[in-house]
Amino acid sequence: MDALTLARWQFGITTVYHFLFVPISIGMAFLIALLETAWVRTRNPIYLRQVKFWGKLFLINFAIGVVTGILQEFQFGMNWSSYSRFVGDVFGAPLAMEALLAFFLESTFLGLWIFGWDKLSPKLHCACMWLLSIGTMLSAFFIMAANSFMQNPVGVTVNVERGRAEMVDIWAVLTQPLQLWAYAHVIAGALISGSAIFVGIAAWAMKNRDRSERHAETARVLRPSLRLGLVAMLIGSVLTIVSGDLLAKVMTDVQPMKMAAAEALWDTTDGASFSVITIGTLDGRSEVWSIRVPGVLSFMATESFSGTVEGINDVQARYEQQYGPGDYRPIVPVTYWMFRLMMGAGFAMLALSIVGLWLTRKGRLPQQKWVWWLAVGGIAGPIVGHSAGWIFTEMGRQPWSVLGLYKTADSVSPTVSAGSVLTSLIVFTALYGVLAVVEVGLMLKYAKAGPPSEEEALASIERRPPRSWGDGSDGTSGLDGSDDDDADERPMAFAY
């Protein structure tokens, strides 16, 4: 493989892997903020125990997500220097906002939340989690703005002499319709991801509820989390479907080739049918067998069941006239199947939430273990959906890195050899494998431990008086002049 192909593989691996952690963190932060609000308002310790339990799992996922994000930035600078020079003036603004505003909120209030249990009032501590949740959502907004610019470049002018895009309207970059609906789609999907963790782990604990008193107590504490997760999953699924439909209409306007490839629609059609599943010839140009719903594709694209949807061949001919000779088609089978995997995962999570809410209504719990295992397996649903969605989004705009302005083939670093890219690809993949083992191992360890007891949870938030430094002249040391030998035996405030 040449350096370009290897760099594309590395970009795909690092981006998809990093994005496994991001929506889970966004969704869990929001749900934990809801639980902590319930604790502050009701002072029912069962909510505090849930916050403590989910908080540990959230911190594990958040930490691994930060590490994977650093590796992604590194590969970006190493493999895509030509691209970075071209879009640096545009990307600098949203990424700087992300670092100065969003990441500042996340890091500051995450620290206060971790170390502030016994130092801040309950209301102030709860506010820290809400601000942390807002920070994670803001971070996603600015990252999505940069990505949406690549899908539909607006607010810029191309300086031919300097060979780069220059920003002329940051507001247009941040608020273009593609950005707004793509962001709404991602946040709704993040709510599904966080809720799937709540439902899956709570179900895993509850399937053993008859084995011992400890399991029964764990099930009693986590049942509200299970119901909260199912409600959030239902809301997130509906919002994902609605935002996805609106995003598809914008995508049809600004990226007609991607929409046509998503449906393997080769010729322009009036009243186009939606392909639920299609088996084609090996070259993908002819249909052998399919299940189709008449008019639905036209409705998705144009809000009319008889609307006209451009086919791949017609868009290709138009692009050749506009941009010159070349192949402007993405890999159609990849975009077609990723689009279906993404949509299928969304509808599967909607069905899971409805069935789960029905089975657990009015205090009921199903007795069949396969039901609980189905809920545990639901954790994979949003993971598949998000991964397929990202692959579809990035592969669907090929051969462009910035649609209509800059091709992927021109974006790769000219001085990085294929051997260097292959070496870093192997190292990154191996490191990601290690991080996956660490993530799963830690999540299982703390999930098995279950929520803390009521006494442990209440003791961890007891307010302690402020300390002063001792001078050590009386044989004492430390903040309050006490014997520091005891410090090793004191539990750390964030260790639960």
* Domain extents in the chain: 3-245+337-460, 256-329
Q: Transcribe 270-284 into DSSP letters.
A: ESPPEEEEEEE-TTS
* Cβ–Cβ under 8 Å, residues 67 and 431: no
Q: Could you give the angle at the alpha carbon of 395 between the alpha carbons of 13 and 377, nearest 5°? A: 55
Cα separation values, 393 from 14, 244, 283, 334, Å: 15, 12, 22, 11
Q: Would you state the pLDDT for residue 57?
A: 93
pLDDT bin (cut points 50, 70, 90) of residue 93 is confident
Structure confidence at residue 220 (pLDDT): 84
Torsion angle of C-alpha atoms 154, 159, 162, 164, degrees rounded to 10: 10
Q: What is the largest CA-CA distance in the chain?
A: 90
Strand partners, 291: 277
Residue 338 pLDDT: 92
Half-sphere exposure of residue 238, counting CA atoms within 13 Å on the CB side? 7
Is residue 483 predicted with pLDDT exceeding 60?
Answer: no
Give residue 267's pLDDT: 85
pLDDT at 480 over 90: no
Q: What confidence score (pLDDT) does residue 421 get?
A: 87
Weakest-pLDDT range from 34-38, 75-79, 180-184: 75-79
Main-chain phi, psi angles of 274, to 5 degrees: -95, 130
Please tell me which residue, 189 or 81, carries the higher pLDDT value: 189
Confidence label for 482 from pLDDT (cuts 50, 70 and 90): very low
Helices (H), 360-399: 369-377, 380-396
Gap between the terminal Cα atoms of the chain: 50
Distances (CA, A) of 224 to 34, 195, 230, 425, 451: 12, 12, 10, 43, 13
Predicted pLDDT at 282? 60
Place of tokens 């249909």: 287
399 preceded by a cis bond (ω within 30 of 0): yes
What pLDDT digit, counting tens, does each position of 359-413 carry?
A: 988 878 888 888 889 999 999 999 999 999 999 999 999 899 999 899 999 988 8
Instruction: Give CA–CA dist 15/391, Å, rounded.
Output: 9
The model's pLDDT over 295-340, given as tens digits with 9 standing for 90+, comes to 888 888 887 888 888 889 899 999 999 999 999 999 988 999 999 9
Would you state the pLDDT for residue 291? 82
- Give burial (CB, 10 Å; 0-12/13-18/19+) of 114: middle
Q: How many helices and strands in the chain, by DSSP H and E?
A: 17, 8
Residue 489 has pLDDT above 60, yes or no: no
Q: Residues of the chain with pLDDT > 70: what percent?
A: 90
The per-residue pLDDT for range 420-466, each reduced to its tens digit, is 889 988 988 898 889 889 888 988 888 888 888 888 888 887 766 65
Q: Looking at 259-363, which runs of residues are DSSP E strands?
A: 269-270, 274-280, 287-293, 308-309
What's the pLDDT at 30? 95
Residue 485 structure tokens: 């030998």
Q: What is the mean pLDDT of the chain?
A: 85
Identify the pLDDT of residue 488: 44
Whether the model pTM is above 0.85 = yes
Judge whether residue 156 has pLDDT over 80: yes
- Nearest-10 crossing angle of helices 177-206, 122-151: 130
Average pLDDT over residues 341-345: 92
pLDDT over 90 at 161, yes or no: no
Tell me the residue length of the chain: 496
**268-290 pLDDT tens trace:** 888 888 888 777 766 666 667 77
What's the helix, strand, coil split of the chain in %, to 5? 70, 5, 25
Mean pLDDT value of segment 469-495:
44
The pLDDT, as a whole number, for residue 487 is 44
* CA-atom Rg of the chain in angstroms: 25
Q: How confident is the model at residue 40 (pLDDT cuts 50, 70, 90)?
A: very high
274-282 contacts, C-beta under 8 A, 24 or more apart: 274/300, 275/336, 277/340, 278/336
| DSSP structural state of residue 59 | H
- Mean pLDDT across 34-51: 93
Summarize the confidence of residues 460-473 as an average pLDDT.
61
The pLDDT of residue 491: 40
